[in-house]
């Protein structure tokens, strides 16, 4: 029987590849991994130390560091990134005060001298007189056969062959302490005064600058080097920060676990957590009952933010999937006598959940976004929206004005809804929530849908579990909204979990059960839960006592499970349905 269901699941997956807009848009993911192995943190020699403001240098799969031993003697240490081995190299040129990689060469700056070394052997090829009289560290980089030296708040530009000063370029930033090469045209500027922010600067076009925040201790940035234009490495024995990071649009993500990029760079997902889940169903007949059927809501399969594999179903159950990809399991049990009990593992699977980041096209407008006919059910008004009420109309006018850019509309919606204070609600409609300016996750969702549907943007309510990763059980405890974006499909609008105000991005790693056009799941009547008697047997509810536990267990499948936790504060009280929780 299990083989039959595995075939059904496979056929369902094949069908999804030719899905209509109501279903998920098929996406193929490519895995990006770190260049080097960071599973075990490097063990830096205890006899050696490094200075905070001195940089490291990357060349040929090795790092070059200036170290001091217990006698305060300076040495040059070469760290092999593949083997994790280190060794000192012979160097009698004096204290290094800056260095740069330059087209297969290494330039080393000391007092009054610039040394030109072979990058493989570290043998000196030549040396030039160099206008550096101090003993303090001053970064240099080599761009397009020019040497750029960081001096206070400006760059001094020298000829590579002559070593002579050619010009000076003022920096648009104050208090710059470090710089490192990003590409032949750009430099990364770093300062502890800015926190963990890195400024991107082009000497040839000072106006073309941008900034990134790297999710590490700001001191670790002093030991950042570039592997390629959008691929960085940090090797810092002081803060013990080691690893690689990758740039995606305006975000920088760690490569401590693989990052998956959607075809066409439509999205990326990262920091996966993998668990074994089991639906454990128990029941007791309080009196004699005839044959009974139970409906179980299952997690959605193979969507952008989660994957299910190794699924197993009870032999007496039937898997059903609706037009929106929502799945349920129908379990039929034979007649029971009063006092009979049963404990059944209805379903089990390997669940992988991701942080997800969608790349919204900044040029996409409302008119180009949707096929309205096929998404009509996600544009309809309802009692919980009242999207043509005076309150909602006025709020739309205030927020959007005459905006037609889709990304701007979604961003402004997310910024407003995430600003609504969290307070456990009672399923009030969008106008009331806007007026009182508070509500739970359900109310935040109603406001989001009222604003967006009123602008002609399809949106749906998502049933999900907002994780507390330390919990050993999964429950249905949360709701947020997904919107349809042409070329991407359904993307999240999650105002209560980090980063809150950015559409298409959520780091909460929800367990998604269903996406609905209205407030109720078609298989569940009279409340928000994951199991219920079939609709035609609800009259038997008082004759049977039953309970579902969705157990969540760690797995040894090799996916890191040590990421930061999404923690729900104990002071937040859930409603009777267990529906409202919030991530701070």
**Count of other CB atoms within 10 angstroms of residue 192:** 15
How far, in Å, CA of 407 to CA of 491, rounded? 12
Over residues 200-227, the pLDDT tens digits come to 999 988 777 788 999 899 999 999 999 9
Residues 6+ apart with CB under 8 A from 26: 16, 17, 18, 19
* SS3 assignment, position 174: coil
Closest-CA residue to 420 (of 432, 402, 408): 432
Lowest mean pLDDT among 184-193, 242-251, 439-448: 242-251
How far, in Å, CA of 489 to CA of 23, rounded? 8
Helices H / strands E in the chain, number of each: 6, 36
Contact 36, 60 (CB under 8 A): no
Summarize the confidence of residues 413-437 as an average pLDDT. 95
How far, in Å, CA of 8 to CA of 11, rounded? 5
pLDDT at 547 over 50: yes
pTM flag (> 0.75): yes
How far, in Å, CA of 51 to CA of 523, rounded? 63
What are the structural domains of the chain? 57-257 (2.40.128.630), 357-522 (3.10.620.30)
Contact 421, 437 (CB under 8 A): yes
Strand intervals (E) in 299-395? 306-313, 317-321, 327-333, 341-358
Q: What is the pLDDT of residue 370?
A: 63
* SS3 assignment, position 512: strand
- Higher-confidence residue of 471 and 25: namely 471
Residues 6+ apart with CB under 8 A from 379: 372, 453, 456, 458
Residues 6+ apart with CB under 8 A from 580: 424, 425, 440, 441, 442, 477, 478, 572, 574
Over residues 45-86, the pLDDT tens digits come to 989 999 999 999 999 899 999 999 988 899 999 999 999 999
Over residues 403-424, the pLDDT tens digits come to 999 999 999 999 999 999 999 8
pLDDT at 9 over 90: no
> Backbone dihedral region of 384: left (phi > 0), alpha (psi from -120 to 50 degrees) or beta?
alpha
Summarize the confidence of residues 265-287 as an average pLDDT. 95
Cα dihedral sign for 125, 130, 132, 133?
positive
Over residues 122-137, the pLDDT tens digits come to 999 999 999 887 789 9
> Backbone dihedral region of 487: left (phi > 0), alpha (psi from -120 to 50 degrees) or beta?
left
Give the H/E segment covering residue 527.
Answer: none
Give me the helices (H) in 68-217, please. none
Cis peptide before 268 (omega within 30 of 0): no
Residues 6+ apart with CB under 8 A from 545: 283, 284, 286
In degrees and rounded to multiples of 5, residue 57 shows phi and psi of: -130, 135
């Amino acid at each position: 029987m299990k083989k039959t269901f595995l075939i059904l699941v496979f056929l369902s997956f094949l069908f999804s590849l030719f899905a209509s807009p109501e279903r998920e848009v098929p996406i193929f993911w490519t895995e990006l991994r770190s260049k080097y192995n960071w599973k075990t943190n490097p063990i830096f020699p205890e006899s050696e130390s490094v200075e905070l403001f001195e940089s490291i240098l990357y060349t040929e799969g090795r790092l070059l560091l200036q170290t001091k031993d217990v006698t305060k003697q300076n040495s040059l240490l070469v760290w092999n990134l593949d083997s994790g081995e280190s060794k000192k190299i012979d160097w009698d040129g004096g204290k290094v005060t800056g260095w740069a990689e330059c087209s297969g060469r290494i330039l080393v700056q000391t007092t009054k001298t610039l040394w030109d070394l072979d990058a493989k052997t570290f043998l000196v090829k030549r040396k030039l007189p160099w206008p550096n009289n101090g003993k303090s560290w001053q970064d240099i980089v080599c761009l397009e056969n020019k040497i750029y030296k960081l001096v206070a708040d400006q760059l001094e530009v020298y000829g590579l062959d002559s070593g002579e000063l050619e010009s000076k370029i003022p920096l648009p930033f104050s208090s710059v302490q470090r710089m490192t090469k990003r590409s032949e045209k750009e430099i990364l500027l770093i300062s502890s005064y800015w926190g963990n922010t890195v400024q991107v600067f082009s000497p040839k076009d000072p106006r073309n600058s941008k900034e990134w925040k790297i999710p590490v201790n700001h001191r670790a940035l002093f030991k950042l080097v570039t592997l390629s234009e959008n691929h960085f490495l940090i090797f810092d024995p002081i803060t013990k920060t080691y690893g690689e990071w990758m740039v995606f649009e305006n975000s920088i993500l760690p490569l401590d676990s693989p990052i998956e990029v959607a075809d066409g760079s439509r999205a990326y997902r990262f920091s996966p957590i993998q668990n074994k889940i089991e639906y454990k169903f128990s029941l007791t007949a309080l009196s004699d009952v005839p044959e009974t059927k139970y409906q179980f809501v299952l997690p959605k399969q193979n969507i952008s933010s989660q994957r299910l594999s190794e699924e197993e179903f009870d032999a007496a159950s039937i898997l059903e999937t609706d037009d929106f990809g929502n799945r349920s399991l129908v379990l039929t049990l034979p007649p029971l006598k009063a006092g009979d009990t049963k404990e059944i593992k209805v379903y089990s699977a390997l669940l992988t959940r991701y942080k997800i980041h969608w790349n919204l096209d900044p040029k996409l407008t409302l008119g180009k976004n949707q096929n309205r006919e096929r998404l009509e059910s996600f544009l309809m008004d309802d009692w919980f929206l009242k999207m043509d009420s005076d309150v909602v109309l006025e709020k739309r006018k205030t927020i959007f004005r005459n905006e037609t850019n889709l990304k701007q509309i979604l961003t402004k919606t997310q910024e407003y809804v995430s600003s609504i204070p969290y307070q456990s609600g009672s399923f009030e409609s969008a106008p009331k929530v806007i007026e009182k300016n508070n509500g739970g996750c359900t109310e935040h969702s109603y406001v989001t849908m009222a604003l967006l549907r009123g602008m002609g943007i399809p949106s749906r309510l998502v049933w999900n579990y907002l994780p507390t990763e330390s919990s050993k059980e999964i429950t249905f405890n949360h709701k947020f909204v997904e919107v349809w974006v042409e070329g991407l499909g359904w993307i999240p609008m999650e105002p209560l979990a980090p980063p809150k105000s950015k559409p298409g991005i959520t780091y909460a790693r929800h367990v998604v059960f269903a996406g609905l056009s209205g407030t109720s799941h078609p298989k569940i009547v009279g409340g928000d839960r994951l199991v219920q008697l079939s609709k035609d047997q609800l009259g038997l509810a008082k004759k049977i006592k039953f309970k579902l536990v969705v157990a969540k267990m760690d797995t040894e499948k090799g996916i890191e499970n040590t990421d930061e936790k999404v923690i729900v504060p104990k002071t937040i009280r859930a409603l009777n349905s267990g529906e409202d929780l919030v991530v701070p």
